[in-house]
Amino acid sequence: MTNSWTDIKNTDLVIVMGGNAAEAHPCGFKWVTEAKHHRGAKLIVVDPRFTRTASVSDYYAPIRPGSDIAFLMGMIRWMIENDKVQWSYVKAFTNASLLVKEEFGWADGLFTGYDEEKRDYDRSSWEYQLGEDGFALTDPTLQHPRCVWNLLKAHVDVYTPEMVERICGTPKERFLKIAEMIGECSSPTKTMTSMYALGWTQHAKGSQNIRGMAMLQLILGNIGVPGGGMNALRGHSNIQGLTDIGLMSNLIPGYLNIPTEKEPDWETYMKSRQFKPLLPGQTSYWQNYSKFMVSFQKSMWGDAATAENDWAYHYLPKLDVPAYDMLRMFELMDQGKVNLYFCQGFNPLLALSNRGKNTSALSKLKLLVVMDPLQTETARFWENHGAFNDVDPAAIQTEVIELPTSCFAEDEGALVNSGRWLQWHWAAAEPPGQARHDTWIMAQIFNRVRELYAAEGGAFPDPILNLTWPYADPSTPMPDELAREMNGTALADVTDPADPTKVLTAAGKQVTSFAELRDDGSTACGCWIYSGCFNEDGNNMARRDNSDPSGLGVHSNWAWSWPLNRRTLYNRASADLDGKPWDPERALLSWNGERWEGHDVPDIAPTAKPGEVMPFIMNPEGVSRLFSRGMMRDGPFPTHMEPFESPVQNVFNDRMRGNPVARMFESDAATLGTSDEFPFVATSYRLTEHFHYWTKHNKVNAAMQPEFFVEISEELAVEKGIQRGGKVRVWSKRGEVWAKALVTKRIKPLTCDGKTVHVVGIPLHWGFVGAAKKGWGPNSLTPAVGDANIETPEFKAFLVNIEPATGEALA
């Protein structure tokens, strides 16, 4: 989230699209209710189903799964056509005026540079025109035909309300009504917030869905302002934290990158990370990259990371592919190329797409190690449960070790909420039986491996032998010790660059914030964006002052948020070019003639003059991007792409299937179905009574939603002869499930490109262990293809068939 849960009360209009907050985030959704009651805010829901959120909305429109980009580009087109643009914001704070290379263009659903063979774009034309001084050329009048604004206008021109209806199945009058409601928020004193979740991410073009809405929000001037923003409702309690800390193939904590083998040395690695400003006078804060990177290396390897050995650069692995994400790992596993696999609180047998492939892949491992508080299907993938897990244990040679861990109630530490608040919690009880903390388990494994390397030697033992391990009890690193490492420490006195005689933080003390990090080896910091969370003021994440003098839900003294305890990202953009808040009623920050002041920590240098330094300090342009240059693999603007399995062809290019640059392994391509065999669109979703595959272990939740079902329209039920509450078989090219049929009015057939499209809803909470009845999840049916930029699998739009099955019918 750019904003926070409590900030939602400041909004005038909520759009929930790509999510179902009332169902999946009920206590956060209360802030929508708050805004409706106390500000008169309105709620719009756009979703294939009339969801629980839709049931309390002011206006609802249906949409075909996987067609969101067309809807959003249609919205942008309508805003431009009807002059519903926050012009001051767009001209000053976005890249609307920057000129783009002459060669860039779009035709037949594709941008310039497409190579069908490589399934990739040559992105060199998706770039600004640069002047001799290295800065981008601009036309502040927005008249130049190559300025971003005019290219955007041309790009969205095809998405008329009629085209939106044709692609999305959303009736034109509903689209237009929503456009009018959204258009009102182009006023500087009216704000819309976007609340989305996996309904947008789980597509082969998920990142572009989100960009589409971000662009709309920029055009309306709604980023950085109270009650606005792009608010990703993260699914799990610390998925934000695990991503921040970089537990991914290609990440280093704080969104730094693991090097690739094209970066054979430190100098080459840093060369592409200079982040020289693209417009004069801009901050381009990533220019500090080397300080964060060196401090990370010092945190990992201490005295073994020196200027002479390039800060132990070769202790880091170098990637030969963009990432060994879990889709790639399961593909390699299925090819017999993975021997040993660890699952720490993760149940991939049910969570990863294409379950049949998951079972086959896990069966080829030598050893699987599962650490979890609960029994999981993954740990028991080899166990026969009849139709629910139809395997032959004798044929599976994988050894499985299952290690019992503590759960939240027995553990201490911080979790990061969706609004980036790091909230500390304390252990209330002891783990049951022999269960142990994850930290103890990781320390035990590491210490034993290190002892083996110390005793026997072996392959490149240096990064293991030299890993810092500064814990009072090496077998049990404590949460506060680990948090202090992430905050960072001065290894030598840190002095003021303007006055070297002034010591900011003495050697051995915790650094105050990342502003004190250095690239000369004098500081160590595990995760720069968390720097400030546990400094010499103590554990700021444990703060519990819930007062809110701002009245805007800022709560600055409750816990701690990254970065620098800032609660709203890009908050400088909440004020105009003179530094006056757009809306005096919702004043977050203002310029007092000398510096920024207000209720939140300014997201800009405190003395940066409002007319000179633009608010988007992480971008070399200093402004936000309506045109994202070559930074995304599938286009600098979002363009409509069909799901890989779709009932209709892409209206712009009937040869194009799915996202033309999404990675597709051959084995997965062979399991894609077509609409003649699988005529119905399926989508997955959550229920408020359950949390993924955990709550089926709880008797209370298992009793509230005991049994797997699929949801279909009354029309489809009639067409297929399916009884209300009757048993059905649902199958895709990859697998089949049996379920009870929930026949509802919540799903209606849509008409897309002249064709009737039926949607089948498939909730995701059942498996074969726990207290609920045994069942299946959507991943028995879904394809293993991921988003072109971040490889999140396409769970939200795929094809199935459905038929009545024999079995008891329970109404």
Partner 1 sequence: MNIDLSRRGFLKLAGAGVAATSLGAMGFGGAEAAELAHVRKFKLAETSETRNTCPYCSVACGVIIYARADEAGKRRVVHIEGDADHPVNRGTLCPKGSALKDFVNAETRLTEPMIRRAGSDRFEPISWDEALDKIARAIKDDRDANLVTTNEAGVPVNRWSTTGFLAASATTNETAWLTYKVVRSMGIVGFDNQARV
- Report the site for partner 1 in 74-103 (rule: CB under 8 A): none
Binding-residue pattern over the window 262 to 301 for partner 1, x denoting contact by CB under 8 A: --x-----------------------------------x-
Does the CA dihedral 434-436-442-444 come out positive or negative? negative
Of 391, 329, 385, which Cα lies nearest the Cα of 359? 391
> By CB under 8 A, is residue 193 in contact with partner 1?
no
Binding-residue pattern over the window 368 to 387 for partner 1, x denoting contact by CB under 8 A: -x--xxxx------xxx---
Measured from the CB atom, the residue of 246 and 638 that comes closer to partner 1 is: 246
Measured from the CB atom, the residue of 155 and 205 that comes closer to partner 1 is: 205
Dist. CA 516–CA 528, nearest whole Å: 10
The answer to whether the bond into 479 is cis (omega within 30° of 0) is: no
Of 229, 207, 93, which Cα lies nearest the Cα of 149? 93
> By CB under 8 A, is residue 650 in contact with partner 1?
no
Binding-residue pattern over the window 219 to 248 for partner 1, x denoting contact by CB under 8 A: --------------xxxxxxxxxxxxxxxx
Does residue 369 contact residue 401 with C-beta atoms inside 8 Å?
Answer: yes
Dist. CA 204–CA 350, nearest whole Å: 19
Does residue 622 contact residue 282 with C-beta atoms inside 8 Å?
Answer: yes
Dist. CA 242–CA 236, nearest whole Å: 10
> By CB under 8 A, is residue 170 in contact with partner 1?
no
> By CB under 8 A, is residue 58 in contact with partner 1?
no
Binding span for partner 1 by CB under 8 A among 11-19, 35-43, 327-335, 491-499: 327-335
Q: Cβ of 785: how many Cβ atoms within 10 Å?
A: 28
> By CB under 8 A, is residue 475 in contact with partner 1?
no
DSSP H stretches of helix in 414-551:
438-456, 462-465, 479-487
> By CB under 8 A, is residue 158 in contact with partner 1?
no
Of 288, 400, 410, 385, which Cα lies nearest the Cα of 340? 400
Does residue 727 contact residue 741 with C-beta atoms inside 8 Å?
Answer: yes
At residue 718, φ and ψ (nearest 5 deg) are -65, -45
List Cβ neighbours of 133 (8 Å cut-off, separation of 6 or more).
none
Binding span for partner 1 by CB under 8 A among 20-28, 97-105, 187-195, 709-717: 20-28
Measured from the CB atom, the residue of 275 and 453 that comes closer to partner 1 is: 453
Query: Out of 472, 498, 670, 700, which residue is the one contacting partner 1 (CB under 8 A)?
Result: 700
| Identity of the residue numbered 443 | A
CB of 257 to partner 1, least distance (A): 13
Q: Which residues within the stretch 522-541 sit at the binding site for partner 1 (CB under 8 A)?
A: 526-527, 530
Query: Out of 139, 689, 736, 753, which residue is the one contacting partner 1 (CB under 8 A)?
Result: 689
> By CB under 8 A, is residue 690 in contact with partner 1?
yes
Q: Which residues within the stretch 344-373 sit at the binding site for partner 1 (CB under 8 A)?
A: 344-346, 348, 351-353, 366-367, 369, 372-373
User: What's the maximum distance between 2 C-alpha atoms anywhere in the chain?
Assistant: 84
> By CB under 8 A, is residue 727 in contact with partner 1?
no
Dist. CA 36–CA 795, nearest whole Å: 32
Dist. CA 402–CA 450, nearest whole Å: 22
- Classify 800 as helix, strand or coil: strand
Q: Which residues within the stretch 387-446 sit at the binding site for partner 1 (CB under 8 A)?
A: 393-405, 407-418, 421-423, 425-430, 432-439, 441-446
> By CB under 8 A, is residue 486 in contact with partner 1?
yes
Does residue 562 contact residue 422 with C-beta atoms inside 8 Å?
Answer: yes
> By CB under 8 A, is residue 748 in contact with partner 1?
no
Q: Which residues within the stretch 547-576 sit at the binding site for partner 1 (CB under 8 A)?
A: 548, 553, 555, 558
- Classify 322 as helix, strand or coil: coil
CB of 353 to partner 1, least distance (A): 8
Of 444, 389, 352, 450, which Cα lies nearest the Cα of 782? 352
Size of the site for partner 1 (CB under 8 A): 167
Binding-residue pattern over the window 615 to 634 for partner 1, x denoting contact by CB under 8 A: --------------------
CB of 59 to partner 1, least distance (A): 25
Query: Out of 390, 456, 666, 676, which residue is the one contacting partner 1 (CB under 8 A)?
Result: 456
Query: Out of 62, 199, 479, 532, which residue is the one contacting partner 1 (CB under 8 A)?
Result: 479
